[in-house]
């Protein structure tokens, strides 16, 4: 039985509503790390380092899709809450078209300058060829990757989260199967891994596109778009924090890699790659919940239902607290086994990865509250406050930590940087929730 945006949310209804989004994000995270698994075990640690060095660039370039998805879905949900379905569909259609056109521009520019980008990131002669090859193939489908990410959010707003989950599973199975065939069976190396990811991204974009272009029973449908500069600006403002989160994460990833190349050479980059892949899976729970609850917040804000906003906030904080303890404990316990899965063939690299993962995983105690806090303000269509939280947790404080902590703690300082940044940001998030409680009535 489906749950409507307009309902009162008990714990059971809230979990049932966001559960497909959480699973969807986990599945997406799992198939996004399959490339790394096959490249590391079938091609070698230098190729693995090359993929990890260039991957943050592709993620940074795709950040526009996250902005349109989260910011746009909040705006569309707000418009639906006002009872303006036709206008909501026009905004939705305009946002998808704008996203695609921007993505094609990014493809052209990124393909041309990929060698320069790889060199700027510090790629050595051992890995630069694989960096450029993987990056150029990956950039060809960047517009569709943007659409895939934004459709995940819009499917939730359309109350079709289960379909989003099905699409994610289809993409995941496609990517895993093609990785097995193109990297293991037919040893195409990083080329095969990049092709596998690109084909899965095409599937992730086209299935929802076809669904929304046809008549359907959901709240949303693609119609003839009408350019609305104000709506585009509001969607970008609302989703600026999510774009900033992904863009900043990519920038931070580049800085991590540059510092690690100095302190531990290619081994450091490979270890960080493993930690990031594992982190993707754990973080997916927080991000999936935020994607799922975002349109609920936007709808009830648009409907002026302050009592339900308070209810959602309270329950979300309780659920985040439980998840924080469970995930941190799991990461500490499973660190050796997870490291073995990726780099068990190299003891030095394995031990470095286990130590790094156990220190890095302390972040799971803190980051969920900041991720939800940012999503909560996005749902309230307050992109400015949402962006402040994201800007602090993913960029400003973390950059300072990356350069300062290693001076005192060496390599361990890099692994602890993100936890320190999230802890400091949490004070800001809590303060903002208190300051704005009367304005929004939650």
Encode 350-366: b = buried (16+ Cβ within 10 Å), e = exposed: bebbbbbbbbbbbbbbb
Per-domain boundaries in the chain: 11-440
pLDDT for 331? 92
**Euclidean distance between the first and final Cα of the chain, in Å?**
28
Q: pLDDT at position 67, please? A: 80
Q: What is the pLDDT of residue 315?
A: 93
pTM exceeds 0.85 for this model: no
pLDDT for 141 equals: 94
Q: What average pLDDT does this structure show over 370-376?
A: 90
- Asked if the model's pLDDT at residue 39 lies above 90, the reply is no
User: What is the three-class DSSP state of 302?
Assistant: helix
Do 35 and 297 contact (CB within 8 A), yes or no? no
The whole-angstrom separation of Cα 325 and Cα 47 is: 35
* pLDDT value of position 183: 92
Q: Using one digit for the tens of pLDDT, what is the confidence trace for 332-361?
A: 999 999 888 777 777 888 888 898 899 999
Rg (CA), the chain: 21
3 state DSSP class of 408: helix
Q: State the pLDDT confidence band at 245, using cuts at 50, 70 and 90.
A: low
- pLDDT averaged over every residue in the chain: 86
């Amino acid at each position: 039985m489906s749950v409507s945006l307009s309902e009162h949310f008990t714990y059971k209804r809230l979990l049932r509503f966001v559960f497909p989004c959480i699973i969807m994000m986990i599945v997406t995270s799992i198939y996004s790390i399959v490339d790394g698994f096959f490249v590391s075990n079938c091609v070698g640690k230098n190729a693995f380092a090359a993929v990890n060095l260039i991957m943050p660039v592709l993620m940074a370039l795709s950040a526009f899709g996250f902005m349109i998805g989260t910011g746009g879905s909040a705006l569309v949900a707000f418009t639906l809450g006002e009872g303006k379905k036709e206008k909501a569909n026009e905004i939705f259609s305009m946002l998808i078209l704008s996203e695609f056109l921007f993505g094609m521009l990014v493809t052209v520019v990124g393909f041309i300058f990929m060698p320069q980008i790889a060199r700027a990131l510090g790629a050595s002669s051992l890995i630069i060829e694989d960096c450029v090859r993987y990056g150029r193939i990956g950039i060809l489908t960047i517009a569709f990757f943007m659409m895939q990410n934004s459709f995940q959010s819009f499917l939730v707003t359309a109350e079709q989260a289960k379909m989003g989950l099905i699409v994610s599973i289809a993409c995941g199975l496609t990517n895993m199967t093609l990785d097995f065939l193109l990297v293991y069976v037919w040893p195409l190396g990083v080329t095969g891994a990049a092709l596998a990811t690109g084909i899965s991204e095409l599937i992730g974009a086209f299935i929802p596109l076809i669904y929304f272009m046809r008549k359907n029973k959901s709240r949303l449908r693609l119609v003839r778009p009408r350019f609305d500069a104000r709506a585009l600006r509001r969607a970008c403002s609302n989703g600026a924090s999510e774009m900033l989160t992904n863009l900043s994460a990519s920038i931070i990833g580049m800085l991590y890699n540059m510092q690690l190349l100095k302190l531990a050479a290619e081994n450091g980059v490979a270890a960080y790659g493993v930690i990031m892949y594992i982190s993707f899976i754990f973080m997916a729970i927080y991000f999936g919940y935020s994607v799922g609850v975002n349109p609920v917040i936007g709808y009830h804000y648009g409907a002026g239902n302050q009592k339900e906003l308070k209810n959602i906030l309270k329950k979300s904080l309780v659920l985040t607290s439980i998840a924080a303890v469970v995930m941190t404990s799991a990461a500490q316990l499973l660190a050796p086994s997870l490291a073995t899965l990726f780099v068990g063939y190299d003891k030095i690299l394995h031990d470095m990865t286990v130590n790094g993962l156990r220190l890095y995983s302390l972040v799971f105690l803190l980051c969920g509250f900041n991720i939800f806090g940012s999503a909560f303000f996005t749902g309230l269509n307050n992109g400015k406050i949402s962006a402040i939280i994201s800007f602090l947790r993913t960029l400003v404080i973390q950059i300072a930590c990356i350069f300062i902590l290693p001076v005192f703690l060496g390599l361990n300082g890099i692994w602890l940087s993100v936890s320190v940044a999230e802890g400091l940001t949490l004070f800001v998030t809590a303060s903002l929730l208190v300051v704005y409680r009367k304005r929004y009535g939650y």
